[in-house]
Amino acid sequence: MEVESRYVAVRHHVEGLPSEDDFEVKAARVRWWPESGEVLVRNLYLSVDPYQLNRMKRRSASHLAVDGIVPGERIDAYGAGEVVASACEEYKEGDVVTGVLGWEDYTLFRPSPGVLMSKLAASDDLPLSHHLSALGTSGMTAYAGLYEVGRPEAGEKVFVSAASGSVGSLVGQFAKLAGCYVVGCAGTNAKVDLLKNKLGFDDAFNYKDEPDMKSALKRYFPDGIDIYFDNVGGETLEAALANMNTYGRVALCGVISEYTDAGHRAVPDLLEVIYKRITIRGFFAWDFLTRFAEFTGVISDWIRQGKVQVIEDISDGLESVPSAFAALFSGDNIGKKMVKLA
């Protein structure tokens, strides 16, 4: 079987702020045959994530864990799709799968223990898109980062940055379920409104209206921060550390404000870290892969019980991948950014 497909590639390495012009959509023919041992998937939803920018750079510490992206070549990415042909017992035509697919119409994969590809149960009653957001890597990141790294206790004070984003919106809601006091920051008033009035944050603010983040956080946390879930790095991290309580924990999830500018780095006061005995722990969601089913089981129940709202921001068509991706860095997304293929 041979299908006409298209894939999104970068034209060159991307070192600064990404724009649509950095990408091109290329045509490809994808071949599958019964003896190939492979599974052919027609992609339905593609995940659009900030970490891909670090893969697009010529050099990045992220390449220690995830391969760099080669200009002109296909880009693997988390997604959901339908099996259209299979040369393996475990997958049948018509199965819906989620896992590492690609920014392309069709993906071929060869099942192996190292390949993450889950089959959805026929009884699954939640929208397929949720398997890219709350029940996908964002959910795993938020759950592992908050519960395993942040280790919240009831009554503790939690600060979340990029709080209306895919990971942040879940972290804040999970922290509320743990009995914490939660404040989030985001880049527009509409996002702040969402956090306070729909997602149940105790408070929220627009960081773009706060020229002095240290004093802003002092206002929102007069008794100090116990857990900071960091999605942005830079001066937000510096300000959070300056307002942390003794034995505070920083779950260092992402530093998106530093991805687009190699010269922009947090310069924390490390004496503060020492004397307040603060733990700063970077973590990688995939380290918790063996507990993926456990985490998503809990999150699914919370969604069904109406305890967690899933915020998704869905663009249409493969050609919208570049603009959807660029939107992450201009703050144009609310919740999980993904692309639905026709």
Positions touching ligand NAP (CB under 6 A) are 49-51, 137-138, 141, 162, 164-168, 186-188, 191, 231-232, 253-254, 256-257, 283-285, 328-329, 331, 333, 337
Do 194 and 311 meet the contact criterion of CB atoms below 8 Å apart? yes
Taking the C-alpha atoms of residue 94 and residue 14, their distance in angstroms, rounded to an integer, is 37
Nearer to ligand NAP, 186 or 216 (CB): 186
170 three-class SS: helix
- Cβ-based nearer residue to ligand NAP, 39 or 310: 310
Helix (H) / strand (E) element for 107: namely strand 106-109
Residue with tokens 């702040």: 192
In angstroms, what is the minimal distance from the CB of 64 to ligand NAP? 13
Smallest gap from Cβ 277 to ligand NAP, in A, equals 23
Compute the distance between CA of residue 285 and CA of residue 174 in angstroms, rounded to an integer: 16
Q: Which CB atom, from 109 or from 259, has the smaller least distance to ligand NAP?
A: 259
Nearer to ligand NAP, 36 or 279 (CB): 279
Half-sphere exposure for 328 (CA within 13 Å, toward CB): 30
Q: How far is the CB of 197 from ligand NAP (least distance, A)?
A: 16
Q: How many CB atoms lie within 10 A of CB 3?
A: 16
Minimum separation from the CB atom of position 45 to ligand NAP (A)? 15
Distance of CA 95 to the CA centre of its chain: 25
Q: Which is nearer to ligand NAP, 195 or 303 (CB)?
A: 195
* Least distance in angstroms from the C-beta of 146 to ligand NAP: 12
Quick one: tokens of 22?
Answer: 């950095």
